[in-house]
A = this chain, B = another copy of it.
């Protein structure tokens, strides 16, 4: 854990989180191996999915925990996974290395406080209707309870633009650097909603000073239960990592 937190705090290291939106089945292990091989530092994959519509698939649930463990065993990668309640935090505690707080919960203050009482790092995603300053104040709800390892995540905001799912707020990256000391991670998958825009916006985020990336990758995006349109294929992720390396070096970072 200490070594992991050290990596998160290294200002020269570009942190790469990758994996599918959701843990769906055994295919998760295959994706995990592929992103590890392509250079990812942390494996993503949700088992409880925060969906807008309750009548859609809500994630694999508790039984996904075994798949998370297996992926971790096989790849050695630390795991990031979203929790949406105190109960889910408990269920996930043993297997995850970092908790994710989703956009929809960014201002759920009582839940934020619960994360503030944990001893594992937290990735706090910006609400799609929230300002940069509101994001930083939400992090304060966590930090005030004791947990200082909070990473912010820009994942796009809602605007009138309809060609993209969200508008990735690139201004947020240098703005956060000016306004506080917390690391800022870019999520170009949700920030664009379109596979073909993910790598260009990832490169942009790095050039603007982001401390890391979280990218959705799937072995069969066309069959993904969630977020297929914004998931990279494994091949695209591998190719993208080469470009990511170059731009990272141009701004003095390593991957």
Contacts and interface: CB of A to CB of B under 8 A. Distances in A.
Contacts of A54: 109, 137, 140-141, 144
Interface stretch (A28-36, A38-46, A126-134): A126-134
Interface stretch (A15-23, A65-73, A196-204, A216-224): A196-204
Nearest to A109: B50
Given A162-B131, A174-B200, A175-B197, A88 B105 contact: no
Nearest to A158: B160
B131 A129 contact: no
A167 interface: yes
Nearest to A174: B200
Copies of this chain, tallied across the complex? 4
Q: Name the residue in A170, A197, A249 with the highest tally of chain B Cβ atoms < 10 Å from its Cβ.
A: A170
Contacts of A117: none
Interface stretch (A6-14, A92-100, A206-214, A232-240): A206-214
A171 B158 contact: no
A118 interface: no
A199 to B, nearest CB: 8
A75 interface: no
A25 interface: no
A51 B196 contact: no
A171 B110 CA distance: 32
Most chain B beta-carbon contacts within 10 A, residue among A133, A201, A243: A201
Interface of A: 50-55, 84-85, 87-88, 104-105, 107-111, 127-134, 137-138, 140-141, 144, 157-164, 167-175, 177-179, 191-192, 194, 196-197, 200-201, 203-209, 243, 246-247, 249-251
Given A52-B107, A104-B107, A128-B129, 17 more contacts: A52-B138, A54-B137, A105-B107, A111-B111, A129-B157, A129-B158, A129-B160, A157-B161, A160-B160, A168-B171, A170-B170, A170-B201, A171-B201, A174-B197, A174-B200, A178-B197, A243-B251
